[in-house]
Amino acid sequence: MGVYEQNVKRFRRLRPKHADYEIRVMGRLNADGTLDTDLTAGLDATYVWVHDPDNRITSRVKNLRVENAPGMRVEVARNTHSGELEIMGVDPLSTPLAYGEAAAALNSPRKGSIIPTPTTGRDIVTGGLYLSTTGGLNVIVTAFQHLNGYWTGVTEKLLTPTATAGSKALNCIGIDLYANAYIEVLTQNRNDSITSMHPQDVYAAIAPYPTVLWTGAVELANGATSIDPSKFLDLRLWRLPTAIAQTGALIQMYRLFH
């Protein structure tokens, strides 16, 4: 490769990732001019319909940034690398006027219908482990973008308590970034509470899975039929998965128990 080609390659890397910013309205218009509230009709799960507010031109855009809200104005830009249109965020001018205090919650990754409307910052944390609205032993990891794809956050996980009578364990829950699927492993059985669970038990459980992004753990006793909301443990900063290959050094991070 000559000097000219090398310089061209360097300049291409300097170009902005997004360009041609415009305002669009979420949803497409029906033949009678009404707004179709089905934003994803006929589309892949990561795309929605938007239209130009000044005409009836409809476009398909990738939406990994905002809540699905028919009629909401959003900022759309062209990804210069993929050539696709992507939603960058809600329109900062019209959204507060139209939605009031709810505007801030709309500017978060889109969530499935089983996830409640955000009321606090905890409700819009991406990749967080929470109780499912269906109750019982069901949990859900909220939507997030990772290096190998997109976790939609609409699939529930039914936890399995330890089979050892008279004991309890931490059910560690994560997302395998290669399979884009739930992974659940149990720590060593103990009679202790979550405040004294040994960190070594947690690490021993999750260490054999270098491609899993661990989101949290739940303390469950043998025979449990429901989850105590106070028995959740955040694992997101414990260990980052191997990003590119299944080999390589792991970054170990530990949290303090309290």
Give yes or no: residues 126 and 248 share one domain.
yes
> Which pLDDT value is given to residue 175?
94
At residue 118, the pLDDT reads 53
131 lies in the same domain as 238: yes
- Cα 130 to its chain centre, rounded Å, is 12
Whether 135 is covered by a domain: the verdict is: yes
Predicted local confidence at residue 5, as pLDDT: 72
Question: Are residues 174 and 222 part of one domain?
Answer: yes
pLDDT at 257: 33
Closest CA to 114 of 161, 153, 84: 153
In a domain, 111, yes or no: no
How are beta strands 47-51 and 85-90 bridged, if at all?
unpaired
153-184 b/e (C-beta count within 10 Å ≥ 16 → b): beebbebebbeeeeebbbbbbbbebeeeebbb
Kindly state whether residues 220 and 152 are assigned to the same domain.
yes
Which residue type occupies 172? C
18 with 74, same domain: the answer is yes
The answer to whether residue 161 is domain-embedded is yes
Give the integer Cα–Cα distance in Å for 45 and 62: 9
User: Could you tell me if residue 115 is inside a domain?
Assistant: no
Same domain, 149 and 37: no
The CA–CA distances, whole Å, from 109 to 54, 143, 155, 192 equal 26, 7, 15, 37
Residue 2 is predicted with a pLDDT of: 72
Within 10 Å of residue 253's Cβ, how many Cβ atoms? 11
> Which one of 73, 106, 139 terminates a domain?
106
Q: What is the pLDDT along the chain (258 residues), one digit of tens a residue?
A: 677 777 666 666 666 778 889 999 999 998 888 889 888 888 887 899 999 988 888 999 998 888 888 899 999 999 888 889 999 988 988 888 887 777 777 877 655 544 445 555 445 677 889 888 788 999 999 888 877 778 888 889 999 999 888 888 999 999 998 889 999 999 988 875 555 566 888 889 999 998 899 999 999 999 999 998 888 888 887 766 554 444 433 333 333 333
Question: CA torsion sign, 209 to 212 to 214 to 219?
Answer: negative
Q: How far is residue 220's CA from residue 233's CA, in Å, rounded to a whole number?
A: 12
What's the pLDDT at 189? 86
Range 93-97 contact pairs with CB under 8 angstroms and sequence separation of 24 or more:
none
Q: State the pLDDT at residue 249.
A: 37
Q: Which domain holds residue 88?
A: 3-106
pLDDT, position 241: 58
Burial 18-55 (b: 16+ CB within 10 A, else e): eeeeeebbbbbbeeeeeeeeebeeeeeebbbbbbeeee
What pLDDT, on a 0 to 100 scale, did the predictor assign at position 205? 92
Q: Is 203 among the domain residues?
A: yes
Q: Pick from 55, 56, 98, 48: which is nearest to 73 by CA?
A: 98
According to the model, what pLDDT value does residue 56 have?
82
Residue 175 lies in a domain: yes
Q: In sequence order, which residues have a C-beta less than 8 Å from that of residue 190 and are 6 or more positions away?
A: 167, 168, 169, 197, 198, 201
Candidates 162, 207, 204, 157; CA nearest to 183 is: 157
pLDDT of residue 113: 45
What CATH number corresponds to the domain at position 90? 2.40.50
